[in-house]
Structure 1
Amino acid sequence: MSPMIAPRVTPPTPAVPAPRSAVLILVGILLVALNLRAAITSLGALLDEVTTGLHLSGTVAGVITTLPALAFAAFGAFTPWLARRFSPARILVGAMGLLAVGQLLRAVSGSPWTFVLTSAIALAGIAIANVLLPVLVKEHFPHRSGLMTGVYSMTLILGTTTASAASVPIAHAFGDWRAGLGVWALLAAVAVLPWLGPALRRKPRSTGGTTPVTARVRPARTRLGWAMAIYFGAQSLSGYATMGWLAKMFRDAAFTPTDAGLLLAGVTAVGVPFALLMPTLAGKLRDLRPLVLLMSAAMIASYLGLALAPHAGALAWVALLAFGQAAFPLALAMIGMRARTGEGVVALSAFAQSTGYLIAALGPLLVGVLHELTGGWQLPLGFLIAAAVVQAFAGLAAARPRYLEDEAGLVNDVQPRVTGVDVRTGRAAATGS
């Protein structure tokens, strides 16, 4: 009797949409990206007013400031479970719906802990969308994933800056901080619209006549998964610490509050072109290690400058830090580049971001504790330099050209694409390219 041969499963053709569909998908992605930080920076801009209006204690205010990173870690981890059960369009409709409802409810809440709960609802929507966007870019724009990652990263920064700059004037115009927070629920509601049509369709997407069955991918069991998580976490730690403390560093260096705020805004403004360029450049390079080293070196140089000459070289340190923080869009691009399958991208995105944001939550806290203990900024900046060194080593490991499914044992090293599950062994069957 001849042995059973596992059937080959034809790999799905990348979902390259028709021109009109591509435009709608791109608009949908960009609208979601606009919302990914607005709920956070609008609250940061109005935190004093919210604290006074709701009579927040120091403990509750501390919980609110660390809530985004913790929520991203907790809720982002559930996204692969959702992705196995629902289409990306339905997930995004739900995520933006949570964001809109959460922002609206917190704007009308009357108690501190109701405010925290409704903020968590809004952040859950952001966490899910955070994980899903790299997957959508890889699925719908497989040949332009670097460019599209850069575009949505730049849009994310635009939304971050806009919410930070506009929330206070809106609150003053309406005479209430609640308006400055609640208005962003409208932006989240608008982001639902492009995804309603795809979410309501019941017909499954064509996969070339076959339905591939992919094995479960577990990044936590791979070196690549941990390298990506630590790289994402270390660069996010720097970003959160910068948002929380850089203006204070400049104020302590004899800048006026206005100038210190402008210098902080300069990090975001200078970073916009880098956010667009970095993923595009990453998509064209075979070896990403030079980029990883350049950005880590820029961050280290910026922190050294802030420690030694914070006033004299302020513009140079801002520019270097802006370049260094382009590690964020690079990390997003690498997530899509380090997995072969849609499920692999979802799993790697969820693990890297959920674990990474948990690491990042420590940044502002430890910088604040070290500053309080020493009364200066040398030790906190030394901590950030150490984090940048860890980022460099993790980034070098993540930048090696390999794939998550290969390390997970789902495909042979010489076979480039996971296409299904071997019915005899439960391992992934594969075909050559």
Structure 2
Amino acid sequence: MLSTPLLVVGVALAAANLRPAVTSMASVLGDVRDALGASAAWTSVLTAVPTICFGLAAIAAPWLGRRVGMARAIGGALAVLTAGLVLRIIDGPWVVLGGTFIATAGIAIGNVLIPVVVKESFPHAVGRVTGIYTAALAAGGGIGAGLTPPLVPLLDSWRGAVGAWALLSAAALVVWMFGARHGSAADVPAPATSGPPRSMLRRPLAWAVTAFFGLQACVAYVAMGWLSELFVSEGISRTDAGLMLALINLIGIPLSFVIPPIALNRNSQSGWIVGLAAFSLAAVIGLAVAPAAAPWLWSVMLGIGMGVFPLALGVIALRTRAASETTDLSAMAQGVGYLIGAAGPFLFGMLHGVTGSWTPSLVLLGGVIVVEMVVGWIVGRPRFV
């Protein structure tokens, strides 16, 4: 693909649809659970489904990109996402789970392939375009969290409020088809790998990058899946809790424009990774000690901490020499990494369900962040897989 401004717009609009499917449901999770008469276990599974699917579908993404071409693969991902968003609002608990799995399968393909498009089409502007991509992703997540609760009374049910996001993904599909066509000389397949498909599995740094990606995903999806419910249980209104969840995502917009162009152009990203993760750790400590004392502050700090996500994407490109390696490392880091991350929302919810307290869950999350900081320091050092 040629690096045209129109392609940048296409990347941004596609990225904007990679989080509303998750944050829109999370912001009205209590309403959905009550309306469906679902159990706590079902709710925990629902919060874990996105990351499980991100992992499983990400493994197939490189094959799909090579088979049909990058532009068609991402367009197909947006079509699958739209279908899943519609499906999950038409029936009961199991259909909700199935539709969510389908929708997040589309997201998983975009998660893996869009960074490869950035690497191939903007080799001298990886930091800047990664910033645009992650800013759009954060904006989509924030808007999905902030607007869905007010849409419930407006559209008479959670189904209408959650299903409305299919319109956004359908619109993005149309724009992507136009933008990708005009942003490429020909929709050629992604380059073939230079070695065996499993070659990354024998590279220690690839495993470190994968672990780092999985740990930061664990923190992010616990926040997106459970933070709103935590605040509501502390007496905060659902609308305000949704706005706090939106704030966590929206803080990523300015951070995405500022941090990647600076951090990804330095020899080492270790200090940036540890510094950002320290904000998440401080927020989790605050939530454990006094969750209702300063919920907006905890939300701001957690949002800053989640600014590590663009660096998690950026090191995938920085630790590889060729686009084929980037594709394989992206698939491994996101495929295995999201499966690691899926354990976070599930265990966080189950611990709360068993103990009746958020404290054990928050202690577990704090431990995950400490390990994330250690592994992040390792992968931030300048070297190649």
What are the within-5 Å matches in structure 2 for residues 283-362 of structure 1?
283-362=264-343
Q: 2:194 aligns with which of 206, 211, 214?
A: 214
Give the 3 Å change call, closer, same or farther, for CA 325–92 of structure 1 in structure 2.
same
Question: 1:44: Cα distance to partner?
Answer: 2.5
- 1:87 matched to 2:40: no
User: What letter corresponds to residue 34 of structure 1 in structure 2?
Assistant: A
- 1:112 matched to 2:62: no
Which stretch of the first structure deviates more once superposed, 53-62 or 85-94?
Answer: 53-62
Query: Which residue is equivalent to 2:375?
Result: 394
Question: 1:196: Cα distance to partner?
Answer: 3.0
What are the within-5 Å matches in structure 2 for residues 251-266 of structure 1?
255=236, 259-266=240-247
Query: What whole-Å deviation, never above 9, does each CA across 1:41-66 have from its counterpart, x for those lacking one?
Result: 22233444544555545554443222
Question: 1:90: Cα distance to partner?
Answer: 1.0
Structure with higher Rg: it is: 1
Instruction: Give percent identity, aligned residues only.
Output: 36
Which stretch of the first structure deviates more once superposed, 228-237 or 319-328?
Answer: 319-328
Query: Which residue is equivalent to 2:27?
Result: 45
Assess if the C-alpha contact under 8 Å between 1:25 and 1:194 holds in 2: no
Query: For residues 172 and 313 of structure 1, what CA distance do their matches in structure 2 show?
Result: 28
Assess if the C-alpha contact under 8 Å between 1:99 and 1:125 holds in 2: yes
Q: 2:48 aligns with which of 60, 66, 86?
A: 66
Query: For residues 50 and 317 of structure 1, what CA distance do their matches in structure 2 show?
Result: 25
SS of equivalent to 1:403: coil
Q: 2:116 aligns with which of 107, 112, 135?
A: 135
Query: Which residue is equivalent to 2:212?
Result: 231
Assess if the C-alpha contact under 8 Å between 1:237 and 1:362 holds in 2: yes
Question: 1:162: Cα distance to partner?
Answer: 1.5
Query: For residues 370 and 213 of structure 1, what CA distance do their matches in structure 2 show?
Result: 42
Query: What whole-Å deviation, never above 9, does each CA across 1:13-43 have from its counterpart, x for those lacking one?
Result: xx653xxxx1221111111111101122222
Question: 1:350: Cα distance to partner?
Answer: 1.1
Question: 1:311: Cα distance to partner?
Answer: 4.4
Give the 3 Å change call, closer, same or farther, for CA 270–398 of structure 1 in structure 2.
same
Which stretch of the first structure deviates more once superposed, 132-141 or 319-328?
Answer: 319-328
Which stretch of the first structure deviates more once superposed, 217-226 or 54-63?
Answer: 54-63
Give the 3 Å change call, closer, same or farther, for CA 400–196 of structure 1 in structure 2.
same
Query: What whole-Å deviation, never above 9, does each CA across 1:130-176 have from its counterpart, x for those lacking one?
Result: 10111111111111111111111111111112222223444433334
- 1:35 matched to 2:17: yes
Q: 2:82 aligns with which of 88, 92, 100?
A: 100
User: What letter corresponds to residue 175 of structure 1 in structure 2?
Assistant: D
Listed as ranges, the gaps of 5+ residues in structure 1 are 1-14, 405-433
Query: Which residue is equivalent to 1:190?
Result: 171
SS of equivalent to 1:35: coil
Assess if the C-alpha contact under 8 Å between 1:93 and 1:195 holds in 2: yes
Query: For residues 30 and 278 of structure 1, what CA distance do their matches in structure 2 show?
Result: 17
Query: What whole-Å deviation, never above 9, does each CA across 1:163-193 have from its counterpart, x for those lacking one?
Result: 2222344443333443323322222222223
Question: 1:262: Cα distance to partner?
Answer: 4.1
Q: 1:379 aligns with which of 357, 360, 364?
A: 360
Query: What whole-Å deviation, never above 9, does each CA across 1:278-321 have from its counterpart, x for those lacking one?
Result: 21122221111111221222222222333334444545433332
Query: For residues 87 and 296 of structure 2, what CA distance do their matches in structure 1 show?
Result: 40
Question: 1:375: Cα distance to partner?
Answer: 4.3
User: What letter corresponds to residue 189 of structure 1 in structure 2?
Assistant: A
User: What letter corresponds to residue 19 of structure 2 in structure 1?
Assistant: R
Question: 1:246: Cα distance to partner?
Answer: 3.0
Query: For residues 380 and 130 of structure 2, what CA distance do their matches in structure 1 show?
Result: 17
Query: For residues 186 and 237 of structure 2, what CA distance do their matches in structure 1 show?
Result: 59
User: What letter corresponds to residue 78 of structure 1 in structure 2?
Assistant: A
Query: For residues 206 and 104 of structure 1, what CA distance do their matches in structure 2 show?
Result: 30
Question: 1:232: Cα distance to partner?
Answer: 1.0
Which stretch of the first structure deviates more once superposed, 303-312 or 76-85?
Answer: 303-312
Query: Which residue is equivalent to 1:24?
Result: 6
User: What letter corresponds to residue 15 of structure 2 in structure 1?
Assistant: A
User: TM-score when scaled to structure 2?
Assistant: 0.88
Assess if the C-alpha contact under 8 Å between 2:135 and 2:256 holds in 1: yes
Assess if the C-alpha contact under 8 Å between 2:150 and 2:239 holds in 1: no
Assess if the C-alpha contact under 8 Å between 1:54 and 1:110 holds in 2: no
User: TM-score when scaled to structure 1?
Assistant: 0.79
Alignment length (residue pairs)? 382
Which stretch of the first structure deviates more once superposed, 216-225 or 95-104?
Answer: 216-225
Listed as ranges, the gaps of 5+ residues in structure 2 are none
User: What letter corresponds to residue 226 of structure 1 in structure 2?
Assistant: W
Query: For residues 237 and 35 of structure 2, what CA distance do their matches in structure 1 show?
Result: 27
Question: 1:206: Cα distance to partner?
Answer: 12
Query: For residues 166 and 80 of structure 2, what CA distance do their matches in structure 1 show?
Result: 10
Give the 3 Å change call, closer, same or farther, for CA 116–157 of structure 1 in structure 2.
same
SS of equivalent to 1:84: helix
Query: What whole-Å deviation, never above 9, does each CA across 1:369-422 have from its counterpart, x for those lacking one?
Result: 333454444433222221112111211221121222xxxxxxxxxxxxxxxxxx
